[in-house]
Amino acid sequence: MKGFKEMTITEILKRGKSYVKDSLETINKLDEKLKAFITVNNKAKELPGKFSGVPIAVKDNIVTKGLRTTCASKILKEYIPPYDATVVKKLKQSGFTIIGKTNLDEFAMGTGTEYSAYQITRNPWDLSRVAGGSSGGSAAAVASGEVVAALGSDTGGSIRQPAAFCGVIGFKPTYGLVSRYGLVAFASSLDQIGPITKTVKDAAILMNVISGFDSNDSTTVDRKVEFTKYLDEDFSNVKVAFPKEVFDEGIEDGVAERFNEFVKFLEGKGIKVDKVDFPELKYSVATYYIIAPAEVSSNLSRFDGMRYGKRNEEEGLLETYLKSRTNNLGPEVIRRIMIGTFTLSAAYYDAYFEKAQKVRRLITNKIENLFDKYDFIITPTSPITAFKIGEIKDPLVYYLMDIFTIPANLAGIPAINIPFGFSNNLPVGMQIMGRKFDDPKVLGFANYIEKDNPVVFPFKEEKK
């Protein structure tokens, strides 16, 4: 098993050896403490295909035929889907082995997996800290070497933020490039499935596999994209912008220092980096937390114990609904359903939801205007490093952690986290955002940085 942590998709293909057994052994060894998986597929076998023998994990809000899918919620505790999500089907057809389903905040609502109904995933760098969320299980599984890659979903940063906390690559594609068929919906206009990997190249390889038009998802675009196209390009002539407001939004000193170093690193490679005004940034969190809960209120109405989910039988229909939802949905899910129902109500729709949609348009317009002058926008991925489990009690503090990641979801553009050093011995991540459908260039630029990254970023050995 030595060296499995450093194993990548590319390396496994070179060696021509299956690592399915190694992955299962590593999970059995580490996951009792790490708690990255809700369900492990101990009967996993190699499948025929180009990527035969490559073990991959899937976030537990993406359905898998015959393999339990819970969304980390009590209401779906025993749900075994009768079909595969489109991305899972594509992975299997390419030879990937689904090794298990990873932990998340319930229905993907949270930033630390502390809202999972089953367990809290631990950060591989410090087991007293969170792995991030909501795709914390996927990020921890990759960072610890339990798997070489994983899929997550990203609604407001749920791939990129845990990737930053765990020191791995996390990529959110342009909205519509990856089918959401089989992804249990959180906020349909914001959700996107993407890869969490150890290298940028692996992320690009996975994108080539899982992307593409899907007749089962009307929001997918019929557009052929080659995600590995720019991996060997020279990006020294690009123009990059960062919002001056980055330093106004509760950023930790250590993260601010790494970001300044990141800017200097880019300038040292001859890249033009400008500080720009982005006053709309401060409205992104409020906008998101009106739009996303509104869509949650609609999407989760089906989990009522009648149509889907565990039922608590009571005398009347209303009482059955109330008991089924109250007993089987967690506090954060209930909070967001209530907020969304309120903002969609007739009396408040114009004041909240419609206004939020207008502000979303303003934020998108601002981002598009910046891309008229610049190739990429950079920020820290998270204003803080991984926090201690149980340390944060106030939901508003949780929500503000998404300040840098939310704009990419509101605008539907591609964004990636890349590791760039440490603060207090914890990983720090930098975010690169690109124009809509410029996913190959975002990956290419990230790979260009990764190759010359001055910070050595080994995966930490587990504590004895």
- Rg of the Cα trace of the chain? 21
CA dist., res. 156 & res. 385, Å (int): 17
Q: Before 144, cis peptide (omega within 30)?
A: no
- Whether 382 and 429 have beta carbons less than 8 Å apart is answered as yes
- Whether 413 and 426 have beta carbons less than 8 Å apart is answered as no
Strand 97-102, strand 37-40: pairing: antiparallel
Reduced to 3 states, what is the DSSP secondary structure of residue 436? coil
Known catalytic residues are: 59, 134, 158
- Whether 301 and 308 have beta carbons less than 8 Å apart is answered as no
Strand 272-276, strand 37-40: pairing: unpaired
Strand 169-172, strand 126-130: pairing: unpaired
CA dist., res. 333 & res. 206, Å (int): 30
Strand order, beta sheet including 239-243: 37-40, 97-102, 55-59, 149-154, 192-197, 169-172, 415-423, 426-434, 376-380, 239-243, 272-276
Per-residue DSSP letter, 62:
B
Of 185, 92, 205, nearest in space to 194 by CA: 205
Tally of residues, the chain: 464
130 phi and psi angles, rounded to 5 deg: -75, 160
Of 425, 459, 464, 422, nearest in space to 144 by CA: 459
Q: Where are the beta strands (DSSP E) in 60-179?
A: 97-102, 122-123, 126-130, 149-154, 169-172
DSSP codes joined into one string, 4-44: GGG--HHHHHHHT---HHHHHHHHHHHHHHH--EEEE-TT-
CA dist., res. 417 & res. 107, Å (int): 22
